[in-house]
Structures are given as structure tokens and as C-alpha cells.
Amino acid sequence: MSGEPLERLGEAQVAPRGPTGGGVAPSSLADILERVLDKGIVIAGDIQINLLDIELLTIKLRLLVASVDRAREMGIDWWESDPSLSSAAGRLEQENRTLRERLERLEEAAGLPAPRPGEESRRS
């Protein structure tokens, strides 16, 4: 089952990001939260937490995961205290950087106009 190697497919990002065990990158937090908060079977428990309340939380979370760099500027560095989280954050950061660089190369090559406000790349 899990852990079955997935091919790397040309330029396509077909990465085993899901819960594949053993040595593979952890699933993205976005994918996990989307499932455990929003999907999954709902049966009545004794402790009734209305998960609609968590909408507030996911908004906060969206802000947090928007940019590791920016969050760090704001002093929100909760993941750094936990090695398992910081490795995930580090990986994300690396991935972001790679993607940003790729995007810039593409924009340059294609002669695209400057990024719109809010789309600037965040150089560290």
C-alpha cells in the first residue's frame, strides 16, 4: 500500500505528499487539515465541538502558512520549537524558494510584466 514509489513525471510535480510511510516527505498540512477538519465521518460524540467554529482557526492558519518568512518576522515561530514540524517547515520553505526562483526565471524568459502588488517574491 503506502510507500509504493511514485514515478517522477517529467516536469509534473507528482510527488507522494500523502501519508506514505517511511522516509517520504510528510503530507502537507493543508491537505491534512482539509481532510480531518472538513471531511471524514461525523458521528455524534459526547463532547460536542462544533467544527464550524474552526473556520476561525483555519483563517488564522491560512495567514500563518502564507509565508514562513513573514510569519517569522511577526515572531510566530511555533514550528521551530518542534523538530518534526520544523523539518516540515524547512522543506516547505525550500520548496517555496525553489518555486519562486523557477517562477522568476519563467517570468524573465517570457518577458512578463512585474508582479502585481502582493505577488512580489519575498527574498530572504
Q: Which of residues 24-53 bind another protein (CB under 8 A)?
A: 26-37, 39-49, 51, 53
Q: Is 122 in the site for another protein (CB under 8 A)?
A: no
**Comparing C-alpha atoms, which of 62, 75, 103, 79 is closest to residue 26?**
79
Neighbours of 57 (CB within 10 A): 12
Site for another protein, residues 76 to 115, rule: CB under 8 A: 78-79, 81-82, 84-85, 92, 95-96, 99-100, 103, 106, 110-113
* Min CB(72)–another protein separation in Å: 14
Residue placing its CB nearer to another protein in the complex, 64 or 72: 64
* Min CB(40)–another protein separation in Å: 4
C-alpha grid cell for residue 42?
461525523
Site for another protein, residues 58 to 77, rule: CB under 8 A: 58, 60-66
Q: Are 67 and 76 in contact (CB under 8 A)?
A: no
* Min CB(100)–another protein separation in Å: 7
Query: Residues binding another protein: what is the number (CB under 8 A)?
Result: 71
d(CA 5, CA 8) in angstroms, rounded, equals 9
Provide the residue type at 60 as one letter. K
Q: Give, in degrees to the nearest 5, the angle at Cα 28 between 13 and 22.
A: 85
Helix (H, G, I), strand (E, B) or coil at 12: strand
* Min CB(76)–another protein separation in Å: 8
